[in-house]
Amino acid sequence: MTTTSVLVTGATGFIGSAVVALLGKNPSTRVVPCFRAATPGRPLSDERYFDLMAPSLLPPLEDIHVIVHSAARVHVMNETSVDPLTAFRHANVDATLALARHARDSGVKRFIYISSIKVNGEATLPGQAFHADDSPGPRDAYGQSKCEAEAGLKLIAEAGGIEIVIIRPPLVYGPGVKANFRSMLRWVRAGIPLPLGAIRNRRSLVYLGNLVDLVCRCINHPRAANQVFLVSDAVPISTSVLIEMIASAMGTSPRLIPVPVWILQLGAMMLRKQAIMQRLAESLEVDIEKNRLLLEWAPPVRTIDGLKATVRHFMSQI
């Protein structure tokens, strides 16, 4: 049996740790987790180190067939950097391209890059979902850095010697999710009235297990080479339906108040929270038909089941 050696960067992160866990169940795959720094008590065998802040310190890759690069400087709602674009470029562009060039020179066959739907843009109009081959339209520093990294990776692939696969997820949820999604879980559990009952948008989300399943499909699939894929659950849902589904998974009733969207938008403008309101009220829908056509892939987990798993983990941590 041929063994594929896969190095995963960001191996302790939300996405990277899930990739490591799923690949570890495959007897034909040798998983090599890649961390930012050594941690006392963690086994030192078969692991490597790569720091986004010091991209010149590159791990040995001569025995690696595929890299899944999930490490990144992530988007946050309250950016503290004086020059966020420069900070994002250093971590998400310079480090990514340094690793990809090193991979090519070391004989790595394929480089899978976890990008972001923010490369496409921030919102979609009704009936006009984002597609994998649309022209980029990033609107913030994080999206711009991901877009620039993708462009650099495509140039590396065009020069030959390595295959590039780019995957752009929207909001990823699952056991252990943090940030705004975890806040929403807390609000629903606490029974806080939420003025979101009138929102009828269409937002594509992706359950962590679905994203990781696609990543694993792309490791060896010949038709994934040098392609861009969007990923999501099977059906987009509105913010209000999302809250209803979370409440159902918790065995409670949602406390949704149908406040007109224009009033919410006005309040968000006054409080300078337009970015949060955009994510709650506007649509962001992705088309994943390309995944079915090229890879014969569809998300294996339904949104309701993904939310139940997310809620179970959340409740177990309280």
**Is residue 214 in a domain?**
yes
In a domain, 314, yes or no: no
The answer to the question of residue 264 being in a domain is no
How far is residue 41's CA from residue 124's CA, in Å, rounded to a whole number?
Answer: 47
Per-chain mean pLDDT for the chain: 93
Average pLDDT for 175-200: 95
Burial class of 208 by CB neighbour count within 10 A (0 to 12, 13 to 18, 19+): buried
* Phi (first) and psi of residue 216, to 5 degrees: -65, -35
Query: Mind listing the pLDDT tens digit for each residue in 104-138?
Result: 999 999 999 999 999 999 999 988 999 999 999 99
Q: Is residue 306 part of a domain?
A: no
pLDDT digits (tens, 9 = 90+) for 131-157: 999 999 999 999 999 999 999 999 999
Tell me whether residue 49 is one of the annotated catalytic residues: no
Q: Of the listed 49, 113, 142, 173, which one is catalytic?
A: 142
pLDDT computed for residue 211 by the predictor? 98
> According to the model, what pLDDT value does residue 127 have?
86
CATH label of the domain that carries residue 19: 3.40.50.720
Query: Residue with structure tokens 């963690």?
Result: 42
Residue 143 maps to a domain: yes
Pairing of strands 48-49, 29-35: parallel
Task: Collect all residues with Cβ–Cβ distance below 8 Å to 40 and sequence separation of at least 6.
Answer: none
For residue 116, which of 171, 168, 172 has the smallest C-alpha distance? 168
The tally of domains found in the chain comes to 1
Is the whole model's pTM more than 0.85, yes or no?
yes
Tell whether 188 is covered by a domain: no
The answer to whether position 45 is within a domain reads: yes
Task: Give pLDDT tens digits for 221-246.
Answer: 999 999 999 999 999 999 999 999 99
Q: Checking phi first, is residue 131 left (phi over 0); if not, alpha (psi -120 to 50) or beta?
A: beta
Q: How confident is the model at residue 39 (pLDDT cuts 50, 70, 90)?
A: low
**Does 318 map to a domain?**
no
Concatenate the DSSP letters of all residues of 70-112 into one string: -------SS---SSHHHHHIIIIIIHHHHHHHHHHHHT--EEE
**Range(s) of the domain holding residue 58:** 4-174+204-233+287-301
- Say how many C-beta atoms besides its own lie within 10 A of residue 255's C-beta: 16
pLDDT number for residue 268? 87
Q: Check whether 188 has a pLDDT greater than 90.
A: yes
